[in-house]
Amino acid sequence: MHDAKGHRSCEKASCTVRRYGLVRKLINRGIQNAEVIQAFRVIPRHLFVATPFQSQAYDDVPLPIGYDQTISQPYIVALICERLLSNSTARVNVLEIGAGCGYQTALLSQLYDRVVSVERIGPFVNTARERLASLKIENVVLHHADGSEGIQGDETFCAVVLSAAPLAIDSRLLAMLRPEGCLIAPVGPPNNQTLKLIICKNGEVREESQGSVRFVPIVRGTIN
């Protein structure tokens, strides 16, 4: 877990006030985990938002980031992080499928010892790396690849999170979980998606619905 408090940027006091205002909104909506709340206090969302949308950086809304993708609504990201922490028996590592602009990646870096993130869009990988470096976040490994079926190698993870919606969870992603791990993902076709939490515990696998959501669909292949 990496401390980004030392970030030196042109962040103005107004951004800090707005960020703390967003944190209050998240708490009012039921986010309770102290580590998740602190991560949202520390990570500046405006750093990951495109210039035309800076005035909305701390609104609780998704925003366009290009290539028909979005930076997710903060409340949904906070809910995902909270559910992961509640159901991960360890914090050794987490696999993120879809780094996008890198905001959720940065938040996860505050909650897990190691973050492995996969992003299919090359320009996103480059900008996410730059943003994470500017925050002096060093516990993230970011791959430019199609992560819809997981990643190559033998590493297994305490948690897996999908940032785009498949029609169904690929069994190869579940195989990447540690015995006591969990996976969270939006699942289903556009306009009919459910946030699903899959928990592996005591040799059993159970699935819980976390409510209706709206995410971009998962897409295969890469863009350079």
Find all residues with CB under 8 Å of 169, minimum gap 6, and list them.
183, 185, 187, 196, 198
Pairing assessment for the beta strands 157-162 and 177-187 based on DSSP bridges: parallel
Provide the b/e sequence for 131-156 (b: ≥16 CB within 10 Å).
Answer: bbeebebeebebebebbbebbeeeee
- What secondary structure letter does DSSP report for 64? E
CA atoms 214, 20, 139, 94: torsion sign? negative
72 noted as active-site residue: yes
Catalytic residue among 55, 72, 88, 148: 72
Catalytic residues: 72
